[in-house]
Amino acid sequence: MKDNGYGFNTTLLHGVDDDTPYGATTVPIYQSSAFKQPDAETLEKIFDNKAMGFSYTRINNPTVEAFEKRVNLLENGLASVACSSGMAALFNAMVNILQAGDEVVAAAGLYGGTVELFDDLKGLGITTKYVLENNPSNYESLITDRTKLIFAETIGNPKLDITDIELVAEIAHSHNIPLIIDNTVATPYLVKPINLGADIVVNSSSKYMNGHSNSISGILTWSGRFKWDYERYPGLKPYKKFGAMSYIVKLRNGLFRNSGGCLAPQNAFYNTIGLETLGLRMSRECENAMELAEFLEKDMKMSVNYPGLKSSKYHGLADKMLSNGYGAIVTVRVGSKERAFKIINALKIPYILANIGDTKTLVIHPESTIATHLSDTEKEQSGVYDDLIRISVGIEDIEDLKQDFKQAIENSMEE
Ligand SMILES: *Cc1c(COP(=O)(O)O)cnc(C)c1O
């Protein structure tokens, strides 16, 4: 890893020196389940965390490590662990430090899968309290002696509320609690949560980091800064001797290894290729999203939610906290589920599917799909309404997108 003062795009291309054989310009795919060692002693040392090295791909793999190093550099972490999906990364990041009886305080405007994960954790005796209105003081009022972590998304998917990471981190730390931030929608191109005080950052790299919808994966990044009270986090205590790395060593020697949510080397390879253009894609996608949001609000007189618009109540915070844009997710409320379906069906360019962060524009009706397993209250808290359309804006020519949305919206008004 090099801290050479490069800008974001140069860092994407040249930030990590891979020790590639034969002068290869891309990271080789080490499609190997296990790694042989010269002698029994070396393998013993690797298993005992006394030597660096690879043993078994469920624990680590050189291609996966190349991806981890890149994201670690981008998110300014001490160490990162790549997982088989964003959900696996979230599960590992949180359950690594939780046990029965613990409480989580979480923003309400979360990705539906994460709300469902919190529902699953209830079965393990871990309860979650939701912050309904995402402002810092509301987090504080839900903290109890049992609160062991605070969780939020930088930009909520699909609520598009924004977490004031700096202030929420201050509150969390004043109670000796770590803050975990899901940075999937913003990506480190817009903000690096660790620089604002977050302790662990999770990205679903299935989305913008991969960028081309060819692999499911997730990655968690540890800041190395949170000072654990090992009495409050007894699971970490046996790893105390690893100092700032205790959280990561516990994860790799415990939950991550034993729950088996490792990333396949082939998918890590796709991610390292996709990552090279993260800056270029995000820049274009954010620009397109801004222009499409303005067009839908001003010209088409729609009810649009986008942090880049002055009408968003998070616009001021977005201006303060984000650089390079406001993200590429736009939502529109169109009056009824029937009209939402009509508009979606009339669109010619966007794909109708459950994903975000592709080069192509994607649309979905969240209420009947990704949020369908949530209760009515959970839906409302997550900002999911039956007339809501979520648009993940791609890199197409903006005039084509505007014209396509125009014809679809006009179509939906005819009887
Ligand atoms: C998609 C997504 C996830 C889950 O990631 P997968 O890779 O699909 O498991 C988590 N958080 C957010 C914000 C997401 O958009």
pLDDT tens digits, residue range 91-103?
999 999 999 999 9
Q: Which two three-digit tokens encode residue 64? A: 């996966």
Residue 92 beta carbon below 6 angstroms from any ligand 1 atom: no
Helix (H/G/I), strand (E/B), else coil: 107: strand
Query: Measured at the alpha carbon of residue 17, what is the angle toward residues 15 and 20, in degrees to the nearest 5?
Result: 145
User: Domains of the chain (ranges plus CATH)?
Assistant: 8-30+61-275 (3.40.640.10), 278-412 (3.90.1150.10)
Closest atom, ligand 1, to C-alpha of 153: 13
Which residue has its alpha carbon closest to ligand 1 atom 7? Answer: 86
- Using a pLDDT cut of 70, give the percent of the chain over it: 99
Q: What pLDDT, in 10s, does the model give residues 387-397? A: 999 999 999 99
Q: Give me ligand 1 centre to Cα 111, in Å.
A: 7
Mean pLDDT of 208-223: 98
Q: Give me ligand 1 centre to Cα 39, in Å.
A: 41
Which residue has its alpha carbon closest to ligand 1 atom 2? Answer: 204
For 14-27, b/e burial (b = at least 16 CB within 10 A) is ebbebeeeeeeeeb
Query: Measured at the alpha carbon of residue 277, what is the angle toward residues 274 and 278, in degrees to the nearest 5?
Result: 85
Residue 308 beta carbon below 6 angstroms from any ligand 1 atom: no
End-to-end Cα, the chain, rounded Å: 60
Residue 111 beta carbon below 6 angstroms from any ligand 1 atom: yes
Cis preceding linkage at 350, omega within 30: no
Q: What pLDDT, in 10s, does the model give residues 145-198? A: 999 999 999 999 999 999 999 999 999 999 999 999 999 999 999 999 999 999
**CA distance linking residue 217 with residue 213, whole number of Å:** 10
**CA distance linking residue 348 with residue 189, whole number of Å:** 30
Q: Give me ligand 1 centre to Cα 141, in Å.
A: 28
**CA distance linking residue 370 with residue 353, whole number of Å:** 10
Out of 200, 203, 207, 369, give the residue to mutate to test ligand 1, the one with the largest number of ligand atoms within 8 Å of its CB: 207
**CA distance linking residue 391 with residue 350, whole number of Å:** 9
**What pLDDT does residue 335 have?**
97
Q: Give me ligand 1 centre to Cα 54, in Å.
A: 28
**pTM passes above 0.75:** yes
Q: Closest by alpha carbon to 262, among 411, 381, 144, 88?
A: 88
Return the residue matching tokens 């003081």. 137
Q: How confident is the model at residue 3 (pLDDT cuts 50, 70, 90)?
A: low
CA–CA distances in Å: residue 265 to residues 72, 73, 242, 258: 17, 19, 27, 18
Q: Give me ligand 1 centre to Cα 181, in Å.
A: 12
Q: How confident is the model at residue 401 (pLDDT cuts 50, 70, 90)?
A: very high
Backbone φ, ψ for residue 128 (5° rounding): -120, 135
Q: Closest by alpha carbon to 278, among 189, 166, 340?
A: 189
